[in-house]
Amino acid sequence: MSRIGKIPVKVPAGVKVSFNNNTITVEGPKGKLNQDYYEVVNFENKGNEILVGRINDEKQTKSFHGLYRNLLNNMVIGVSSGFTRVLIINGVGYRAEVKGKLLVMNLGFSNEVYVGIPEGLTVKAEANGRIEISGIDKHKVGEFASQVRQLRAPEPYKGKGIRYEDEHIRRKVGKSGVK
């Protein structure tokens, strides 16, 4: 049995989960999410917990067992409390601000960088170089945060660039440090 797949998914009060036509639908106070799934897994609703099972012991089925359990868990967490990813901008003159559905950043290039904010996400840019991306879909939040970070990845000498809040950049000694 899969170590991850056998863990039951706890459903908090106010969240409704339904399974029909190979689609998982999760509704909660923050919104509604849908996910398609293959019929190699089955879902059993037991009060405030959902158990995920599988129909056979093939390698692919075992993979889907853990995958769909985690996807369902992320959906339940997303519609009840949501997900947040924080980015830190470090560098002289580097800044970001939100203008409507655009994230406008000055990252040391000759022009400002404009990034469209995807539907379903909210972005807050603070004056101290902190960008907070939040939403109910964990995949969308992580993907957008990754795209923003790639615009100016942190460099190891001065640490300039965009990094995750919990990320540690290994610093290198420059040419002047070797004597």
The mean predicted confidence, pLDDT, of the chain is 93
Q: Is pLDDT above 70 for 177?
A: no
**Percent of the chain having pLDDT more than 90?**
88
- What is the biggest distance separating any 2 CA atoms in the chain, rounded to whole angstroms? 69
Residues of the chain with CATH 3.90.930.12: 9-80, 83-164
Count, residues in the chain: 179
Percentage of residues in the chain with pLDDT exceeding 70? 97
Q: Do residues 140 and 82 touch, judged by C-beta distance below 8 A? A: no
pTM of the model: 0.90
The whole-number average pLDDT for the span 98-104 is: 96
Domain 83-164 architecture: Alpha-Beta Complex (3.90)
Is pLDDT of 176 > 90? no
Q: Are 131 and 96 in contact (CB under 8 A)?
A: yes
Residue type, 176: S
Question: In the predicted model, what is the mean pLDDT of residues 160-171?
Answer: 94
pLDDT band at residue 72 under the 50/70/90 scheme: very high
* CATH superfamily entry for domain 9-80: Ribosomal protein L6 (3.90.930.12)
pLDDT at 124: 97
Query: H or E element: which one contains 49?
Result: strand 49-54
